[in-house]
DNA sequence: ACTGATAATGCAAACGTGTGCAAAGGAATT
DNA sequence: AATTCCTTTGCACACGTTTGCATTATCAGT
């Protein structure tokens, strides 16, 4: 049997309420008795029952984190940021992957409601509005990271994809490129639009034309789609001299495709990635990419939920939406070069 | 207020025990009333209180997963395997990263004990014996995945690293290599030893000598260590013609180092990885590596804890240790070639 | 020595469930 | 019509905490 607060009380011939207070550091209890209690609690291997406690307090000290895929290295880093601040604030995390499956989403949301998580962080999972309402309806605060759906959430952390995409494009333009193509991921919503938009804005600033066929979308964010995309662009006439890719995975596929086609990077074609996932440094050539502060995004998201959970905050504030937009930084490596032969 | 079982009872002018039974599908309740109850439960947006329930039942339907790093792509895939079967069996998962920090480990173990997780899966976190005893002592079953420490656990899932390493080495020998070096990760315990051991065994089978300086250890599993390692091997005389790397990350670093040194792969040097993490396919050249069934390892681990939790199993069995050893498969890509100029 | 205030502790109810046992209501058997 | 039996429901307690309130012990001030 696990030892309870009452066991300790009995052993010390004391009321269990005293034990409870002592263990929670109440100032009501005399130092001497508090000390004795803590000591025998230790001896008996006592451990709080989170269940019993949260039954009374309506707090579980647990956060729910919903991610679309755990094995996506991008989420891995965000998760790390979240986990770190959760841990530092004595919160545990419930993790679940939706895999873009509505039925799984339903079950995840249900399970998290049953466990009465104090708050929820949704990572790029395009969770349906209906599901997320299940939380807000019952007063469970939600923070959304890099929201993909068009729906608006009150509290969210974004990466500034427009700005990031502009940085990348500007760099390429600075290298003298004029025929720049964009390879997007149609399966991704808002993120993709904003990256396209940033690309177009920056091109427009420099009065560079973007023919419609220079913007292409592939149906996913994996490397295999980069291979597809590059095949498309190579068939174009005139051919672009640089390709801005939706993310690093796709860019890796593009590099592979170009190599197979015997086109040297960056000699004959410049390529950029996006996100700076861990291995983008080890493609060949190393990928010039936009370093998105993933871990920081995660930790900010966690800080935000915790803030929403803070009683002081709940009272004082007018409950205005909080949206935090973080900027990334261009990371220049070796996949881009100046155009040598202008058209 | 969240609606409780009693609210439903009151609304239907019925006892709350009847509601409880109906909602748990007890056969005692008449179909007609059960139906009415389920329906109004739905209407009122009722959701079980996991806390209250587990207070009575001593079951939380939650598993703890301790990992050393969430953002390691290797663990990401294992996690996915775990998460999938947990979800399919109505279990939630508590995730925490130890970061190799003993203090964090302590807090994680405490938190999981407080939350009374039904079982724990430890992934390559070299959790101290003292901490893991905290679980077993209180009857919480543990399954260990790829245990690094020398300590023995009753239930564990291993990858057969000896066999994997032999497969890789045999392949290289088959290509005609005779001077083969091994680049290990000294920070990793058992895994590293076994991979070295497999390497040596296979070399011995073919009567090939392994000079002491051909086995080198770097202090970590990241790519930067691959760069270090390759510098060491290149200075050797005679130089090896192939390098067997501890894992894909290190191999990626080796590829980078070789490229910087102007040595072509696989023309002048063959390189192998280990694990087959997602991007090993996108290094240049694509890495020949040992495909470790990571997702499967994860799902097997989850199945094993669930089995340990099963009452039937607990009764029937003589409680013998269960150790499952899974074999990986050599994945031939383009980082290895036959030796052209034998010494 | 008595009052009043303060510090420390105990009592008991509640949180939302599950479940053994008793009870009620029929239906079936005698 | 009385008995037995089965089906369905309710009663009441327990799970391990927290917490408002009452109670006791302690002590200073008159």
Using a CB-CB cut-off of 8 Å, the residues of chain A touching B295 are: 71
In angstroms, the CA of B87 and the C1' of D10 are apart by 36
A329 vs B225: CA distance, rounded Å: 26
Cβ-defined contact of A95 to B97 (cutoff 8 Å): no
A128 vs A150: CA distance, rounded Å: 11
What pLDDT, on a 0 to 100 scale, did the predictor assign at position A56?
96
Q: Report DSSP letters for B300-317, one per residue.
A: HHHHHHHHHH-HHHHHHS
A75 vs A324: CA distance, rounded Å: 18
- Give the chain A residue whose CA is nearest to the CA of B117: A50
Cβ-defined contact of A70 to B51 (cutoff 8 Å): no
Q: Are strands B92-97 and A92-97 parallel, antiparallel or unpaired?
A: antiparallel
Cβ-defined contact of B94 to A92 (cutoff 8 Å): yes
Residue B129 has a CB neighbour count (10 Å cut-off) of 12
B106 vs B37: CA distance, rounded Å: 44
Is residue B179 within 8 Å of B244, Cβ to Cβ? no
- Strand D close to B56 by CB, under 7 A: yes
Cβ-defined contact of B282 to A252 (cutoff 8 Å): yes
B145 vs B164: CA distance, rounded Å: 17
Token digits for A239? 């051919």
- Give the chain B residue whose CA is nearest to the CA of A51: B51
Closest-CA distance, A342 to chain B, in angstroms, reads: 29
Mutate to test the interface with B, among A111, A121, A254, A335 (most CBs of B within 10 A): A111
Pick from A216, A171, A209, A175: which is nearest to A342 by CA? A175
A252 vs A257: CA distance, rounded Å: 9
Residue in B2, B114, B252 nearest the CB of A50: B114
| Positions 184-243 in A, CB within 7 angstroms of strand D | none
- Give the chain A residue whose CA is nearest to the CA of B58: A51
Secondary structure letter of residue A281 according to DSSP: G
Secondary structure letter of residue B212 according to DSSP: G
Nearest nucleotide to B49 (CA to C1') is C16
Residue in B76, B114, B137 nearest the CB of A70: B76
| CA gyration radius, chain B | 26
Q: Report DSSP letters for A179-214, one per residue.
A: SEEEEEETTS-HHHHHHHHHHHHHHHHTT----GGG
What pLDDT, on a 0 to 100 scale, did the predictor assign at position A148?
78
- Give the chain B residue whose CA is nearest to the CA of A49: B114
Q: What is the mean pLDDT of chain B?
A: 93
What pLDDT, on a 0 to 100 scale, did the predictor assign at position A210?
95
Q: What is the pLDDT of residues B307-343, one digit of tens each?
A: 999 977 777 666 788 999 999 999 999 999 998 754 4
Pick from B189, B260, B255, B191: which is nearest to B226 by CA? B255
What pLDDT, on a 0 to 100 scale, did the predictor assign at position B73?
87
Pick from A215, A204, A203, A196: which is nearest to A177 by CA? A203
Is residue A263 within 8 Å of A257, Cβ to Cβ? no
In angstroms, the CA of B62 and the C1' of C17 are apart by 18
In angstroms, the CA of B13 and the C1' of D11 are apart by 15
In angstroms, the CA of A50 and the C1' of D21 are apart by 26
A106 vs A122: CA distance, rounded Å: 14
Q: CB within 8 A of A189, min separation 6: which ones?
A: A126, A148, A149, A150
Q: CB within 8 A of A314, min separation 6: which ones?
A: A308
Using a CB-CB cut-off of 8 Å, the residues of chain B touching A79 are: 70-71
Using a CB-CB cut-off of 8 Å, the residues of chain A touching B69 are: 80
- Give the chain A residue whose CA is nearest to the CA of B112: A92
Q: CB within 8 A of A52, min separation 6: which ones?
A: B51, B55
Residue in B72, B278, B282 nearest the CB of A256: B282
Sheet holding B142-145, edge to edge: A322-326, A155-159, A142-145, A119-123, A62-67, A92-97, B92-97, B62-67, B119-123, B142-145, B155-159, B322-326
Q: Which residues of chain B have pLDDT under 50?
A: 342-343
Q: CB within 8 A of A207, min separation 6: which ones?
A: none
In angstroms, the CA of A102 and the C1' of D13 are apart by 42
Using a CB-CB cut-off of 8 Å, the residues of chain B touching A114 are: 47-50
Pick from A121, A125, A140: which is nearest to A83 by CA? A121
- Give the chain B residue whose CA is nearest to the CA of A138: B2
If DSSP codes are grouped into helix, strand and coil, which group holds residue A270?
strand
B329 vs B276: CA distance, rounded Å: 10
Cα dihedral A196, A198, A202, A207, rounded to 10, equals 40
B156 vs B144: CA distance, rounded Å: 5
In angstroms, the CA of A58 and the C1' of C10 are apart by 25
Closest-CA distance, B48 to chain A, in angstroms, reads: 5
Using a CB-CB cut-off of 8 Å, the residues of chain B touching A62 are: 94, 115
Cβ-defined contact of A138 to B279 (cutoff 8 Å): no
Token digits for A342? 């202008």
- Strand D close to A20 by CB, under 7 A: yes
> Tens-digit pLDDT profile for chain A (343 aa)?
799 999 999 999 999 999 999 999 988 899 999 999 999 999 999 999 999 999 999 999 999 999 998 988 899 999 999 999 999 999 999 999 999 899 999 999 999 999 999 999 999 767 788 888 899 999 999 999 988 776 778 999 999 999 999 999 999 999 999 999 999 999 888 899 999 999 999 999 999 999 999 999 999 888 889 999 999 999 999 999 999 999 999 999 999 999 999 999 999 999 999 999 988 988 888 999 999 999 999 999 999 999 999 977 776 666 788 999 999 999 999 999 998 754 4
Cβ-defined contact of B96 to A83 (cutoff 8 Å): yes
Longest dimension (CA), chain A: 92
What pLDDT, on a 0 to 100 scale, did the predictor assign at position A318?
67
Cβ-defined contact of A114 to B73 (cutoff 8 Å): no
Using a CB-CB cut-off of 8 Å, the residues of chain A touching B282 are: 223, 252-253, 255-256, 279, 283
Pick from B264, B317, B305: which is nearest to B64 by CA? B305
Residue in B76, B77, B279 nearest the CB of A279: B279
What pLDDT, on a 0 to 100 scale, did the predictor assign at position B341?
53
Cβ-defined contact of B259 to A47 (cutoff 8 Å): no
B253 vs B223: CA distance, rounded Å: 4
Mutate to test the interface with B, among A95, A226, A277, A299 (most CBs of B within 10 A): A95
Nucleotides of D under 7 A from a protein CB: 7-12, 14-20
Residue in A50, A69, A72 nearest the CB of B115: A50
Task: Tell me whether residue A87 is exposed, middle or buried, using C-beta atoms within 10 angstroms of its C-beta: 0 to 12, 13 to 18, 19 or more.
Answer: buried
B284 vs B262: CA distance, rounded Å: 14
A132 vs A120: CA distance, rounded Å: 9
A303 vs B277: CA distance, rounded Å: 31
What pLDDT, on a 0 to 100 scale, did the predictor assign at position A341?
53
| CA gyration radius, chain A | 26
Runs of H (alpha helix) within B44-115:
50-57, 73-88, 102-114
- Strand D close to A46 by CB, under 7 A: yes
How many beta-carbon pairs under 8 angstroms link A with B? 157
What pLDDT, on a 0 to 100 scale, did the predictor assign at position B343?
45
């Amino acid at each position: 049997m696990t030892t309870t607060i009452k066991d300790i009380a009995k052993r010390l011939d004391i009321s269990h309420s005293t034990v409870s207070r002592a263990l929670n550091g109440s100032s009501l209890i005399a130092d001497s008795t508090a000390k004795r209690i803590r000591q025998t609690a230790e001896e008996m291997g006592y451990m709080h029952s989170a269940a019993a406690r949260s039954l009374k307090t309506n707090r579980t000290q647990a956060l729910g984190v919903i991610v679309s895929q755990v094995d996506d290295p991008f989420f891995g880093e965000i998760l790390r940021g979240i986990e770190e601040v959760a841990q530092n604030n004595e919160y545990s995390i419930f993790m679940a992957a939706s895999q873009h499956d509505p039925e799984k989403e339903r079950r995840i949301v249900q399970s998290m409601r049953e466990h009465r998580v104090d708050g929820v962080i949704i990572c790029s999972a395009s969770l349906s509005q209906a599901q997320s309402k299940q939380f807000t309806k019952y007063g469970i605060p939600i923070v959304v990271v890099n929201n993909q759906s068009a729906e608006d959430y009150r509290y969210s952390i974004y990466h500034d994809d427009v700005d990031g995409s502009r940085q990348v494009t500007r760099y390429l333009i600075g290298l003298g490129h004029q025929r720049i193509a964009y390879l997007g991921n149609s399966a991704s919503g808002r993120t993709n639009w904003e990256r396209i938009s940033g690309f177009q804005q920056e091109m427009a600033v420099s009065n560079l034309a973007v023919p419609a066929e220079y913007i292409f979308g592939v149906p996913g964010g994996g490397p295999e789609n980069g291979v597809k995309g590059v095949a498309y662009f190579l068939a174009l006439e005139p051919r672009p001299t640089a390709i801005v890719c939706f993310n690093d995975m796709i860019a890796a596929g593009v590099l592979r495709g170009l190599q197979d086609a015997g086109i040297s990077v960056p000699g004959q074609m410049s390529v950029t990635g996006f996100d700076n996932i861990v291995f983008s440094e080890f493609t060949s050539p190393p990928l010039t990419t936009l370093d998105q502060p993933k871990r920081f995004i995660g930790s900010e998201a966690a800080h935000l939920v915790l803030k929403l959970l803070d009683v002081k905050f709940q009272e004082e504030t007018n409950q205005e939406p909080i949206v935090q937009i973080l900027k990334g930084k261009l990371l220049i490596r070796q996949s881009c070069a100046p155009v040598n032969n202008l058209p």
